[in-house]
Chains A and B, each alone.
Chain A
Amino acid sequence: MAKFEYAPALESRTVVTIRPSYGLFIGGEFVESTDGSSFKTINPSSEEVLAEVTEAGVADVELAVRAARTAFDGPWGRLPGAERGKYLFRIARILAERAREFAVLETLDNGKPIKESRDVDIPLAAAHFFYHAGWADKLEHAGLSGASTHPPRPLGVVGQVIPWNFPLLMLSWKIAPALATGNTVVLKPAETTPLTALLFAEVCQQADLPAGVVNIITGAGDTGRHLVEHPGVDKVAFTGSTQVGKSIARSIAGTRKRATLELGGKAANIVFDDAAIDEAVEGIVNGIFFNQGHVCCAGSRLLVQENVADDVIMRLKGRLQTLRVGDPLDKNTDVGAINSATQLARISELTEIGQAEGATRWSAPCALPERGFWYAPTVFTNVSQSHRIAQEEIFGPVLSVLTFRTPQEAVAKANNTRYGLSAGIWTEKGSRILWMADQLRAGVVWANTFNRFDPTSPFGGYKESGYGREGGRHGLSAYVTTGATR
């Protein structure tokens, strides 16, 4: 037994009240479903049922879209930007006030460590609203107009579908810019993580947001499809799997509906022989084990320069022994639960394939709880470019390690993928960072850091990682039109 054991340091659950069941948030109120059904959402670390949630049916989607349209054609559409901005400032401040409540709820519903919900997810979500609040009355300065003489105008009703890995944060990435630019929203949270979106509805009420500006409809794949395909939706924003992204792109083809898609990735985290080695190891760990690896931009491939590969891998394994896997509500937990049984099965399947392909598997020795969905942080070495675990997104705490000899080879291997969301570069040499950044076909390049997000910093991918950017000045353009007509 280690000399210094940490006793359990549980964050209290009492700060948040979870209702036994939730309706749909349409037109400023919680309403019962018309033609839908219900399903349960569970805590993936214990499989405890948290609440019953509505699965919105076709008629529900229709109601929500109509409520959004009414708000757009009515009070919201007529509101000056400065007044819109003040609503968003209110929302940002309320999120900051209720931060603890949201963090605990996010951890319960998603399975991620409380340390992450508290220190990353919730603060960034509040910051996202704060940043976009200030744009609402400054759109003419955002450089969106291009050659057009018309000031930027909203598109109308936006249908937004978000994933389960950063529920509230993804909600803020979608709703904040949409509202700042004057649109109204119908948002569907992921089926395994609806609760913080439903609590967000309360924040909208506390902020006195006009009815119908934000509508939250819960459900699964079908609900999302009905929303995206609804003719009353002017723009679709989707974050999720590449497969679903492609089907959305197909479904809007031939219409005037615009879309932004933020999809999967298989990012290369590239470590050179002159990297600041201790910080690089932290960056590798952060890159793939932060949020249990449930990150589209995760550094799921480590490309390490061959002449330092043994040393880096040795240090990495040593570092992984201090990662704490366990109860997400424990403030000392580093790696939480896998979000669902489905995801756990997928991770297990792909790691079996990895072993079968001939890669060498190593997992951090850790005791996994009995109930719930868990996976030990795992590293595959001796991975080749042609292995499936080097090409396919696992979306779990599994790292594939490959080597390279020269910067050119690193670039070639990093780019040799259908994806292009992000990349990491670890070297102390500035010119190499900038040269690599130029060569890498990825929408986000992190040098000597990883998984850093900011409302001012545009995020999005190349190739099959999707198109469009979220955040920053660039992220506004997806939500406006500068044409004389729509």
Chain B
Amino acid sequence: MNPTTATATAREVLGVGALTNASLTRWLHGLPGVDHVGADARAAGLATRSIKSTSKAWAIDTAISMIDLTTLEGADTERKVRSVCAKAMAPDPGDPATPQVAAVCIYADMVPVAVDALKGSNIHVAAVTSAFPSGRATMAVKLTDTRDALRAGAHEIDMVIDRGAFLSGRYLQVFNEIAAIRQECALKGTHGAPAHLKVIFETGELVTYDNVRRAAWLAMLAGANFIKTSTGKVSPAATAPVTLVMLEAVRDWRTLTGTQVGVKPAGGIRTTKDALKYLVMVNEVAGDDWIDPAWFRFGASSLLNDLLLQRQKLTTGHYSGADYVTID
């Protein structure tokens, strides 16, 4: 969808003649509010679900298959990235039946390494771009960043929004940035399919749930394929209530427009218990259609090992330990 089409579509959704900052503001500020205490309570209530035996085994495998295995460090090297890719393809050398993860998530300049390392597998390469994690750079830099990643073969782009622009009410600017990057994703043809675009809000900086709801609707309006909570570089990163608000957003967006958008909580999800709580939330808030790696992802690194430990416990019947899972 090119930016002009994005704008035209947005005008239709809003029912306005011109997509201006004022009309976007009216629309976004007219969305229903989120009661903070109520949202926290709903998330907490869903977290009391008890997932046992067969459903637990299924959920663990599903969660593994939804992981974007992540390394986003200044100290990343080619060998480090190759190591992560190897783990992505065979998470548990002691059990080849273990599912593979959905994607490997890395900085854009590492894409060629990852593409090579993951050759022959179905695992996607997701690149963080647009001056990740801060988003503080010119649009030209952000676009070049994205193009380089796409040219190198990235299947997925995880961009960050400009939180400064959002918090100062420049919604049209945020819209245009997302639409422009979405346009880049659509144009690429290396793999034959357009790259899919995840839009990161950095919910820890947006703070209020009302802001998260507005960011979600703005991003979906601009053409996001996925909405994502955090970069993982700011605390708090993903939380259950924030993800709840985003799941409600994608559910309602599909009711309104017929378009399905995915959700990715990222950062701070370390245990199997956490992952299962998120899956329950997806199940009961958005529904069956989102229980699929195409529509829900976990942005995580250490989570994988905890899932493997729990998986081993279900297979062997006793508690496992750190010596029985690999570091990457």
A contacts, CB < 8 Å to B: 2-9, 115, 119, 274-279, 282-283, 322, 331-332, 428, 448-449
B38-80 residues with Cβ-Cβ distance < 8 A to A are 38-39, 41-42, 48-56, 58-59, 62
Q: How far is the CB of B219 from chain A (nearest CB, A)?
A: 19
| A contacts with B: majority SS | loop
Residue of A3, A332, A449 contacting most chain B CB atoms (<10 Å): A3
What chain A residues lie within 8 Å of B50 (beta carbons)?
A: 6, 9, 331-332
Name 6 interchain pairs, CB-CB below 8 A, sorted by A.
A4-B280, A119-B48, A276-B35, A278-B39, A331-B49, A332-B49
Complexed CA–CA distance, A331 and B33 (Å): 31
B33 and A276 contacting across the interface, CB-CB below 8 Å: yes
Contact of B56 (CB < 8 Å), options: A7, A115, A322, A449: A7
Contact of B288 (CB < 8 Å), options: A3, A6, A276: A3
Contact of B55 (CB < 8 Å), options: A6, A274, A331: A6
Q: How far is the CB of A74 from chain B (nearest CB, A)?
A: 46
B279 and A282 contacting across the interface, CB-CB below 8 Å: no
A449 and B37 contacting across the interface, CB-CB below 8 Å: yes
B288 and A279 contacting across the interface, CB-CB below 8 Å: no
B35 and A4 contacting across the interface, CB-CB below 8 Å: no
Complexed CA–CA distance, A448 and B39 (Å): 11
B55 and A4 contacting across the interface, CB-CB below 8 Å: yes
Complexed CA–CA distance, A8 and B55 (Å): 9
Complexed CA–CA distance, A306 and B210 (Å): 25
Q: B12-45 CB contact bits vs A (8 Å, 1 = yes)?
A: 0000000000000000000011110111011000
B32 and A449 contacting across the interface, CB-CB below 8 Å: no
- For the complex with contacts A4-B59, A119-B48, 5 further pairs of A-B residues with Cβ separation under 8 Å are A274-B32, A279-B35, A279-B39, A332-B50, A449-B38
Q: Does B4 contact A (CB under 8 A)?
A: no
Q: Does B248 contact A (CB under 8 A)?
A: yes
Q: How far is the CB of B292 from chain A (nearest CB, A)?
A: 8
What chain B residues lie within 8 Å of A332 (beta carbons)?
A: 49-50
Smallest CB-CB separation from A5: which chain B residue?
A: B55
Q: How far is the CB of B272 from chain A (nearest CB, A)?
A: 15
Smallest CB-CB separation from B279: which chain A residue?
A: A4
Complexed CA–CA distance, A123 and B166 (Å): 43
Contact of A276 (CB < 8 Å), options: B32, B41, B51, B62: B32
A276 and B38 contacting across the interface, CB-CB below 8 Å: yes
Smallest CB-CB separation from A330: which chain B residue?
A: B50
A278 and B37 contacting across the interface, CB-CB below 8 Å: no
Complexed CA–CA distance, A191 and B194 (Å): 68
Contact of A7 (CB < 8 Å), options: B34, B48, B53, B248: B53
Smallest CB-CB separation from B290: which chain A residue?
A: A3
A276 and B34 contacting across the interface, CB-CB below 8 Å: yes
B248 and A6 contacting across the interface, CB-CB below 8 Å: no
A8-B279 contact, Cβ under 8 Å, with A276-B35, A278-B248, A279-B39 = no
A3-B32 contact, Cβ under 8 Å, with A115-B48, A279-B38 = no
Q: How far is the CB of B141 from chain A (nearest CB, A)?
A: 38
Q: B271-284 CB contact bits vs A (8 Å, 1 = yes)?
A: 00000000110011
A6 and B41 contacting across the interface, CB-CB below 8 Å: no
B228-249 residues with Cβ-Cβ distance < 8 A to A are 248
Q: How far is the CB of B209 from chain A (nearest CB, A)?
A: 9
Residue of B32, B56, B279, B291 contacting most chain A CB atoms (<10 Å): B32
What chain A residues lie within 8 Å of B59 (beta carbons)?
A: 4
What chain A residues lie within 8 Å of B38 (beta carbons)?
A: 276, 278-279, 282-283, 448-449
